[in-house]
Chain A
Amino acid sequence: MSEIYQLQDVTKTYMVGKVPVDALNGLSLSIREGEFAALQGPSGSGKSTLLNVVGLIEKPTRGSILFRGADVTGAKEGVLTDLRQRYIGFIFQSFNLIPVLSALENVEYALYLEQRYSRGEVRERAMRAIQDVGLERFATHRPAELSGGQRQRVAIARALVKDPRIIIADEPTANLDSKTAAQILELVRNLKEKLNTTILVATHDKAIADMAERIIKIKDGRIDEN
């Protein structure tokens, strides 16, 4: 398996007032194509920052990032946006759906951005993704009309519809009750088997960690156990 990410000596420093705080502190990490890795660590350990850096929505202060073999450390914002659009699917803890769009339209939006498909193809692919997460009956519902579990299913459909090379998930079950969380996990497991996509998930959920092929433990902005 080739490596989708190679992070070398990555540091991310934030200014808290006038005090610099290292959220990531010289972290090095490789992630292989197709693997399911769980990121664990206490609150404030740097999990979310690492996901943001890997998701190309934050640039590191120091160090380098290779994405699919290409150095993207100093890439321009437009290039990073294109990479996120084409290759990365996000699943957020708070679902982050666009409230004025229906479930189906939220999924379609991710495909429209790519401008690769005709209107008909977009509709067809989005509908298929909605069916894959079992929400065909709710396709026209707006996020406010859906339960938390249903919203997260829409978010999963949105992440998967564009066949991303990696799905980055930040505590995807944290806002769900245990029964719904189990359903979501089952869904992720099935989709992973079906699509063979790389998954990097930050979680405190033991069930997710048990599902993962690899556990990456992070502490004080460094890899503690890999």
Chain B
Amino acid sequence: MISLLAIASAAAAMVVFQSFVNGVKATFRHNVITSNYGHYQITRKGYRKNESDEPFAYQILGAEKLRERIESEIAPLTFFAQRLIFYGLLNHNDRSLGGVGFGIDAAEERRFLTLVQVEEGKHLADGGAQSVFVGYKLAAKLRARPGDMLTVLVTTKTGSMNALDLEMTGTFKTGITQLDEGAYFIQRPVAEQLLRVEGAPVLMIGFKNDNELQFRKQLDKLVADYDSTLEVAHWKQLAEFFDNTMGWVEKQVLVFRIIILVIATISIVTVFMMGLMERMGEFGTMRAIGTHRQSIAGMIFLESILQSTLGSLIGIGLGIFVVTVLLVNGITMPPPPLMSVPFHVTFKIPWENIPLTLALCVLVSGGAGVLPAWRMARIRIVEALGRNV
């Protein structure tokens, strides 16, 4: 009974832990996509490399036609927005700070980039055309509040200076330090007018349900057919920190899994041995009346496998219960690297890994029976018979 409990606890811990890690991955992935990237971004070739030197040499015009082709030939899009990215000074009273400006399709972005939360005031989509939406930390440095007038000073496509007075409609918070400290959004048409350009260099698209990878090949082909100077980048190519962070998490997970398995193995061996020691007299009798060592070892090993299977099944069931009932609301985690706000993790059971978890638990706990089986098979019969009192 105690050994069943030990095995079940280890299996339940594995399921809960895997569900947690799965949840962290899914939440972090979703947060990155909905913070600033979308599923894919389409730009002209060379834009990423040269954007700081020639920011307006890679504009894409007539993006709507491309959208229509994607929707008719691949899948409906839940998000399609153009972005004009520029560098400029933001001035409030006697304070001026440099920042990255984004000319955005505000209403479209608000629908999909849900991680961009209004910290104070209103979203850009709810403001007038001549509005600016500022990262909350940047706004704090400027000592600007919603309703204040800010001046955006930029270098235009032709190299001349241009400035525009905009009303700060509100501040945003994404949790991504880089954006919160140094970014601001204005309406794209206003940005085009300010910078004296047409179109935008970045098209952002989003599919339904974060299932974007299945469309990658089709999208590459369609975009190349549409205009061979365009290229597609998956959000992971743009958010390199995601893989670095996940690699860091995976390493921790691996260490933790090894620790769970080692502790579980030691506990199960100990519990098995305790149980077998109580039955030592029984094994001594069996050996005395003619049971071979290998039969004793085989019997104990079979018992341990059966116990392991039963314990693992119970544990996995218990783990699923814990995740789906007790932890159904998830937990809030401290901010990961490069983010400044805590994030909420909803546990996700890795159903596709459950057979593997079962196999691993049975293997480890069954394997834990090998040493006790070997030791019991080699007991001194006389000594074991002495336990029958």
A interface residues, Cβ below 8 angstroms from B: 52, 55, 57-58, 77-78, 81-82, 84-86, 88, 90, 92, 94-99, 109-110, 113-114, 158
Inside 8 A of A94's CB, which chain B residues have their CB? 388-389
In the bound complex, CA of A88 to CA of B282 (Å): 18
Q: Which of B285, B291, B382 touches A81 (beta carbons < 8 Å)?
A: B291
Contact A110 B289 (CB under 8 A): yes
In the complex where A52-B382, A99-B282 touch, is A85 in contact with B289 (Cβ < 8 A)? yes
Report the minimal beta-carbon distance from B372 to chain A, rounded to whole angstroms. 18
List chain B residues, Cβ under 8 A from A110.
289-290
Answer whether residue B77 sits at the interface, using C-beta atoms and an 8 A cutoff.
Answer: no
Q: Give Cα A215–Cα B291 distance, bound, in whole angstroms.
A: 31
A114 contacts across to B, CB distance below 8 A: 290
Enumerate chain A residues within 8 angstroms of B389, measured Cβ to Cβ.
94
Selected A-B contacts with CB under 8 Å, 26 pairs: A52-B381, A52-B382, A55-B288, A57-B287, A57-B382, A58-B382, A77-B293, A78-B293, A81-B291, A82-B290, A85-B290, A85-B291, A90-B289, A92-B285, A92-B385, A92-B388, A94-B388, A94-B389, A96-B281, A96-B285, A96-B385, A109-B286, A109-B289, A110-B289, A113-B291, A114-B290
In the complex, besides A81-B287, A81-B292, A96-B284, 16 extra interface pairs with C-beta distance below 8 angstroms are A57-B287, A57-B288, A57-B381, A57-B385, A58-B381, A78-B293, A82-B290, A88-B290, A94-B388, A94-B389, A97-B285, A99-B282, A109-B286, A109-B289, A110-B290, A114-B290
Residues from chain A with a CB closer than 8 A to the CB of B381 are 52, 57-58
Q: Which residues of B contact A98 (CB under 8 A)?
A: 282, 285-286
Which of B266-322 touch A at CB < 8 Å?
281-282, 284-293
CA–CA, A81 and B381, complex, Å? 11
Do residues A113 and B282 form an inter-chain contact, with CB atoms below 8 A?
Answer: no
Known contacts A96-B281, A98-B282; A78 and B382 CB within 8 A of each other: no
Number of residues in B with C-beta < 8 Å to the partner?
17
Partner of A96, one of B292, B382, B388: B388
Q: Which residues of A have CB within 8 Å of B286?
A: 98, 109
- Cα A98 to Cα B289 with chains together (Å): 11
Rounded to whole angstroms, the CA-CA distance of A113 and B288 in the bound complex is: 12
A86 touches B289 (CB 8 A): no
B292 touches A78 (CB 8 A): yes
Cα of A81 to Cα of B284 in the assembled complex, Å? 12
Report A48 CB to chain B, min CB distance, Å.
8
A90 proximity list for chain B (CB < 8 A): 288-289
* Alpha-carbon gap, A55 to B288, bound state (A): 8
B382 x A113 contact (CB < 8 A): no
Least CB separation from A77: chain B residue = B293
- The docked-state distance in angstroms from the alpha carbon of A99 to that of B288 is 16
B288, B293, B385: the one within 8 Å of A84 (CB): B288
User: Which residues of B lie under 8 Å from residue A57 when comparing CB positions?
Assistant: 287-288, 381-382, 385
Chain B residues near A158 (CB-CB < 8 A):
289
CB-defined contacts of B290 to chain A, threshold 8 Å: 81-82, 84-86, 88, 110, 113-114
Contact partners of A86 in chain B: CB under 8 A: 290
A117 to chain B, nearest CB (A): 14
CB distance from B191 to the nearest CB of A (A): 81
CA of A34 to CA of B316, assembled, Å: 60
Interface centre among B285, B286, B293, B382 (most CB of A within 10 A): B285
Chain B, residues 367-389, CB within 8 Å of chain A (1/0): the string is 00000000000000110010011
Docked Cα-Cα span, A58 to B288, in Å, equals 10
Chain B nearest CB, measured from A113 CB (Å): 5
Known: A92-B388, A96-B281, A96-B388. A84 touches B289 (CB 8 A): yes
A157 CB to nearest chain B CB (Å)? 12
Docked pose: A113 CA to B282 CA in angstroms: 15
Query: Chain B contacts of A58 at CB under 8 A?
Result: 381-382
B-side contacts of A77, CB under 8 Å: 293
Closest chain-B Cβ to A142's Cβ sits at a distance in Å of 13
Which of B289, B291, B382 has the most chain A CB atoms closer than 10 A to its own CB? B289
Report B226-269 residues with CB < 8 Å from chain A CB.
none
A136–B382 Cα gap in the complex (Å)?
Answer: 31
Per the bound structure, the CA–CA distance linking A114 and B291 in Å amounts to: 9
